Amino acid sequence: MDEFFYQIQKTDLSKFLNNIIQKNELYAPIKTDAIRFEKIESPEKIYLDTNADFPLKEFFFRDREKLFSFDKNKIKVEIEKPSKTRVFFGVRRCDLNAVKHQDFIFMEKHKDPYYSAQREDAILIGYHCKTAPSKYCFCGSMDLGDHYDLMFWEDESHYFVHVGTKKGENLINSSKELFSKTNIKLNEEHKKIDFTNRLKKKDISKLQDNPDWKKGVDKCISCAACTTLCPTCYCHEIKDEVTLSDLQKGERLREWSSCQLKSFTKVAGNHVFRENREERFKHRIYHQLQYFKERYNIEMCVGCGRCITHCPTEIDFVEIINEMKEK
């Protein structure tokens, strides 16, 4: 795609978003009791002061997905697809990269039709952070790329907009009168976000037995908020649910699960492999920072910091790792 930015006046943003609403469903961060992406009818409510508490994960890798319905041994596979194109506005760089990693695991590595049906037509419009929106952000330490249809950078009186895909370009073309081409090129400087280079030690392969893990483990209450709010965690379980009026009929469901819970490794006969909290706590961090990379050569964690911001006991695993002394 073209390296040159477009620009749009700030006062024209709502016109652009209203144009989108005409033909599509628009989702953007809204602040109520929490900040989350919701379908909106008018752009006024959009909240961009800080990142959303909930990532986009639930829209594509849904927390409860029907794999098929059954009637005794007869199986019917019906895959739901959104009837209108969904456009997501205001997605941060970390969350866009999280979508990239989920696209990789669900669409490239596996051909998951349930994820694809939700994801395929969706359009992602980014909103680039200038500085860390939370003191726990560490995206600057992670290996992030460009994964968006359009990306917005806020400036004094206007936004600079970069086109990432054909889909993004089409959106601009459908509101052509609002955008003008600039002669400024996208470069690495634009992608830098201040105060996010927090994780100093990314190779944790030799730290498995470090006693400092205890600092985090001792405060962990195994609530699973970290994995639930993580934009990249994709572990799930499968279960059957029957219709109460006819027990032969029902559905097989895929639901999010959490490695922080004992049940995650419980086998028949009630043996639990990761019985103690330390093993479970470390498993999450190692899957994010090491195991996924060993297997796929991609860092799974995107450094959004939600697992720390929303941890009820604020376990800052980044700080814990930084302070670890290697033998």
Name the nearest CA neighbour of 174 among 157, 154, 149, 153.
149
Task: Spell out, one character per residue from 194 to 233, where the chain touches another protein: x when CB under 8 A holds, - when not.
Answer: ----------------------------------------
Least separation, in Å, of the C-beta of 52 and another protein?
Answer: 23
120 near another protein, rule: CB under 8 A = no
Our CB check for another protein shows the closer of 75 and 221 to be: 75
The answer to whether residue 290 forms part of the interface with another protein (CB under 8 A) is yes
Select the residue interacting with another protein from 78, 108, 177, 189 (CB under 8 A): 78
The CA-atom distances, in angstroms, between 161 and each of 5, 146, 171 are 5, 13, 12
Chain residues 32-71 in contact with another protein, contact rule CB under 8 A: 67-68, 70
DSSP H or E run through 68: strand 64-71
Q: Which of 286, 313, 306 is closest to 221 using CA atoms?
A: 313
State how far the Cα of 287 lies from the Cα of 60, in Å rounded to an integer: 21
298 forms part of the interface with another protein (CB under 8 A): no
Q: Does 273 bind another protein (CB under 8 A)?
A: yes
Type of residue found at 69 = S
Our finding on whether 257 is near another protein (CB under 8 A) is: yes
Strands in 74-76's sheet, in edge-to-edge order, are: 74-76, 64-71, 246-256, 236-243
Smallest distance, Å, CB 291 to another protein? 3
CA distance 279 to 299: 21
Q: Does 235 bind another protein (CB under 8 A)?
A: yes
CA distance 251 to 240: 6
Indicate the helix (H) or strand (E) that contains 291.
none
**Residue 1 vs 79, nearer CB to another protein:** 79
Residue 40 is inside which H or E element, if any? strand 35-40
Q: How far is the CB of 60 from another protein (least distance, A)?
A: 14
Residue type at position 201: K
Shortest Å distance, C-beta 49 to another protein = 32
Q: Is 205 buried (19+), middle (13-18) or exposed (0-12) by CB count in 10 A?
A: exposed
76: which DSSP letter?
A: E
Residue whose CB is less far from another protein, 127 or 264? 264
- Return the residue of 128, 274, 306, 310 that touches another protein, per CB under 8 A: 274
Q: Which of 1, 34, 75, 221 binds another protein (CB under 8 A)?
A: 75
Nearest to another protein of 76, 166 (CB atom): 76
Contacts with another protein by CB under 8 A lie at: 67-68, 70, 72-73, 75-83, 105-106, 109-113, 117, 234-240, 242, 247-248, 250, 252, 254, 257, 259, 264-269, 273-275, 279, 283, 286-287, 290-291, 294-295
